[in-house]
Amino acid sequence: MNLPMNRRTFLTASAVAGGGMAIGYSGSASAQNPEDLDFNPFVRINPDNTVTLIIHKPENGQGAVTTLCMLLTEELECNWQTLNWEFAPVARVYGFPLQGTFGSLGVRSSWQPLREAGAKARVMLQQAAAARWNTGIENTRAENGLVINIQTGGTLSFGDLAAAAAMLPVPETVALKTPDQYRYIGKATKRRDTLAKITGGAGYGIDVRIDDMAFAVLARCPVFGGRVQRFDAARALAFPGVLDVVEVSRGVAVVANNTWAAIEGRKLLDITWDEGSSANLSSAGILAMQKELVSTPGAVGRNDGDVEAALANAVTRLSVSYEVPYLAHTTMEPPNTTADVSANGCQLWSGTQIPGLCHLNSVATSGLAPDQVKVNTLFIGGGFGSRGGGNVYSEAVEIAMAAGRPVNLLYTREDDIQQDRYRPCSYVEMEAGLDAEGWPLAWKGHVSCQHFQDLVNGLDREALSGLADNDYAIANQRFEYSPLELDVPTNFWRSVGASQNAFFAESFVDELAAAGNKDPVELRRRLLADSPRLQNVLNIAADRAGWGQPLPEGHYHGVACISCFGSHNAQIVEISIANNQVRVHKVTCVVDCGQAVNPATVVQQMQGGIVYGLTAALKGEITLENGRVQQSNFHNYDALRMDEMPQIDVHIVQSDVAAPGGIGETATPAIAPAVVNAVFAATGQRIRKLPIKLA
- Asked if the structure places residue 690 within a domain, the reply is no
Do the Cβ atoms of 656 and 593 come closer than 8 Å? no
pLDDT, residue 411, reads: 98
- For residues 383-389, give the mean pLDDT: 86
- Asked if the structure places residue 505 within a domain, the reply is yes
pLDDT in tens, 682-694: 999 999 999 999 9
Q: How many CB atoms lie within 10 A of CB 230?
A: 9
Q: How many CB atoms lie within 10 A of CB 311?
A: 19
User: Three-class SS of residue 376?
Assistant: strand
Query: Band of the pLDDT at 19, cuts 50, 70, 90?
Result: low
Query: Band of the pLDDT at 37, cuts 50, 70, 90?
Result: very low
- Asked if the structure places residue 40 within a domain, the reply is yes
Nearest residue to 523 (alpha-carbon basis) of 476, 561, 478: 561
pLDDT, residue 43, reads: 87
- Asked if the structure places residue 83 within a domain, the reply is yes
User: Three-class SS of residue 419?
Assistant: coil
Global pTM? 0.93
Q: With 60 as the cut, is the pLDDT of residue 3 above it?
A: no
Residues 291 and 398 in one domain: no
Residues 211 and 193 in one domain: no
Q: With 70 as the cut, is the pLDDT of residue 469 above it?
A: yes
Q: With 50 as the cut, is the pLDDT of residue 459 above it?
A: yes
pLDDT, residue 36, reads: 30
CA of 556: how far to CAs of 550, 551, 576, 578, in Å? 9, 7, 6, 13
> What is the rounded distance in angstroms from the CA atom of residue 575 to the CA atom of residue 585?
6
Residues 289 and 272 in one domain: no
Residues 525 and 648 in one domain: yes
Do the Cβ atoms of 255 and 399 come closer than 8 Å? yes
User: Three-class SS of residue 414?
Assistant: helix
Do the Cβ atoms of 86 and 68 come closer than 8 Å? no
**Complete edge-to-edge strand list for the sheet that includes strand 581-592:** 556-564, 567-578, 581-592, 647-652
pLDDT, residue 388, reads: 81
Residues 245 and 303 in one domain: no
Query: Band of the pLDDT at 16, cuts 50, 70, 90?
Result: low
Residue 462's domain comprises: 285-325+423-683
User: Three-class SS of residue 681?
Assistant: helix
Q: With 50 as the cut, is the pLDDT of residue 510 above it?
A: yes
- Asked if the structure places residue 239 within a domain, the reply is yes
Q: What share of the chain is helix, strand, coil (3-state, %, to 5)?
A: 30, 30, 40
> What is the rounded distance in angstroms from the CA atom of residue 19 to the CA atom of residue 15?
6
Last residue of a domain, one of 352, 380, 410: 410
Do the Cβ atoms of 618 and 692 come closer than 8 Å? yes
- Asked if the structure places residue 415 within a domain, the reply is no
Overall domain count for the chain: 3
284 φ, ψ (degrees, to nearest 5): -65, -40
Alpha helices in 16-110 (DSSP H): 64-76
Q: Which residues contact 341 (CB under 8 A, 6 or more apart)?
A: 347, 366, 368, 397, 400, 401, 406
User: Three-class SS of residue 450?
Assistant: coil
Q: Which residues contact 220 (CB under 8 A, 6 or more apart)?
A: 250, 251, 415, 419
Residues 460 and 363 in one domain: no
- Please report, to the nearest 10 degrees, the dihedral formed by the alpha carbons of residues 471, 474, 478, 481 taken in order: -30
Q: With 50 as the cut, is the pLDDT of residue 29 above it?
A: no
Residues 84 and 150 in one domain: yes
- Asked if the structure places residue 418 within a domain, the reply is no
Q: With 60 as the cut, is the pLDDT of residue 349 above it?
A: yes
Last residue of a domain, one of 170, 185, 201: 201
Residues 231 and 90 in one domain: no
| Mean pLDDT for the chain overall | 93
Q: Tell me 596's DSSP state.
A: -
Residues 248 and 344 in one domain: yes
Q: With 80 as the cut, is the pLDDT of residue 10 above it?
A: no
Largest CA distance in the chain: 83
Domain holding 4: CATH number? 3.30.365.10
- Asked if the structure places residue 570 within a domain, the reply is yes
pLDDT in tens, 105-158: 999 999 999 999 999 999 999 999 999 999 999 999 999 999 999 999 999 999
User: Three-class SS of residue 82?
Assistant: helix
Do the Cβ atoms of 62 and 348 come closer than 8 Å? no
- For residues 211-216, give the mean pLDDT: 97
Residues 349 and 456 in one domain: no
Residues 465 and 568 in one domain: yes
Burial 139-156, CB ≥16 within 10 A → b, else e: ebebebbbbbbeeeeeeb
pLDDT in tens, 311-344: 999 999 999 999 999 999 999 999 999 999 999 9
Q: Which residue has the higher pLDDT, 507 or 163?
A: 507
Residues 172 and 300 in one domain: no
What does the H/E/C string look like for 84-108?
EEEECCCCHHHCCCCCCCCCCCCCC
Q: Which residues contact 389 (CB under 8 A, 6 or more apart)?
A: 354, 357, 358, 360, 361
Q: Which residues contact 260 (CB under 8 A, 6 or more apart)?
A: 241
Q: With 90 as the cut, is the pLDDT of residue 93 above it?
A: no
Last residue of a domain, one of 201, 226, 259: 201
Nearest residue to 60 (alpha-carbon basis) of 107, 121, 128: 107
